[in-house]
Amino acid sequence: MPPAKKRLRSYDHERTRAALLAQFEHAREAVRGLAPDQFALPTGLGTWTVRELAAHLTMALEAVNRSLEAPEPDGPAVPLLDWPSSTSSRASTIADNVEALAAAREPEELFTVVGDRAARLLPQAPGDRLIATTAGTMRLTDYLVTRTVELVVHTDDLNRATGLSVPLDGQALATATRLLADALAVRAPGASTEVRIPPYAVVQCVEGPRHTRGTPPNVVETEPLVWLRLATGRSAWHEALAEGRVSASGERADLSGLLPLMG
C-alpha cells in the first residue's frame, strides 16, 4: 500500500496580508528612529550596511505592488514550497538592485512610498489572483507568505546589526516558521525524525523507520527564531547544538547536511 500523501498546509489570505503589513510597519518605525551613523553599521550580509538592509526590507513589499500593477499572467502557479530552494539563484541580482536602490533614495522615503502603495493595492486583490514573480507565476496568498518570510528574517537581521528589539509580529513569525519547516520536509521526505518548533510547527522528515505512537526515536526541537536562523544560514547547526539552542536526539536527528534551506 503506497504511503499517504502529505497534506499541504494552507494559509489564510486575510491573516497573511495583515501579518505582512504589520511586520512592514514594525520595520518602518524602527528605520525611522535610526540615527544617521547607524545606517553605516555592517549587517553580516556580505557587504550590506544597515542602509542596504533597510532598502531590501522595502523591496519585499514593493515586489507585491509591482506584481499587482502588472497584468495577471496565465497559470499554472508555482507550488509555494518550491520557493525556498529557488532563492539562491537570484541572490546576485537582488544584491545589485538593493545597492542601486539604497544609493538612490533615503530609507524613510522608500518605506513611505512602498507602504502607501501597498495600502492602496493590497486590500482590493483576492488571494487567488495570479501574479508574475521572479520565482514564476504564483497565487497572491502564496506570494504574501514568501514576502512575510523575507520581512521576518530581515527584521531579525536588522535587530542583530543595530542592537534594537524590533518586534516580530506573532502571525508573521508563525508563517515564516511553518513555511521553512515544511520546506525541510520537502527536502528530506520521510517520517523517521520529528522536528518540533513550538508553538508553531511540527514536521516529520528524513527517510527511515516510521514511528506510529509514543515518542519518536529521532527528535529535534528548537525555538522559532533559532529555526529561522538555521534555515537561512544565519546560524550553523553544530554551533547552535553546542550552545544548547537546539536539542537533537537519535541517530537521524543531525540536520546539518540539510541546512540551510535558502540563502
Local confidence band at 53 (pLDDT 50, 70, 90 cut-offs): very high
Stated pTM of the model: 0.94
pLDDT, the chain, mean = 93
Percentage of the chain lying above the pLDDT 70 cut: 94
Alpha helices in 33-139 (DSSP H): 50-69, 83-86, 91-104, 107-121
Task: Return the domain boundaries, the chain.
Answer: 13-168, 174-249
Which residues share a beta bridge with 201? 197
Q: In the Cβ-directed half-sphere of 19, how many Cα atoms lie within 13 Å?
A: 25
Domains 13-168 and 174-249 alike in fold: no
Amino acid at residue number 96? D
Which position has the grid cell 508563525?
174
Instruction: Give the β-pairing of 130-133 and 136-139.
Output: antiparallel
Topology of the domain comprising 13-168: Four Helix Bundle (Hemerythrin (Met), subunit A) (1.20.120)
Closest CA to 96 of 160, 170, 46, 23: 46
CB 81 within 8 A of CB 43: no
Query: How far, in Å, CA of 94 to CA of 100, rounded?
Result: 10
Q: Which CATH class is domain 174-249?
A: alpha beta
CA-derived radius of gyration, the chain: 19
| Structure confidence by residue, pLDDT tens digits, 88-110 | 776 677 777 898 999 899 999 99
CB 172 within 8 A of CB 26: no
| Structure confidence by residue, pLDDT tens digits, 72-86 | 999 899 999 999 988
Helix or strand (DSSP H, E) at 113: helix 107-121
Provide the 10 A C-beta neighbour count for residue 83.
22
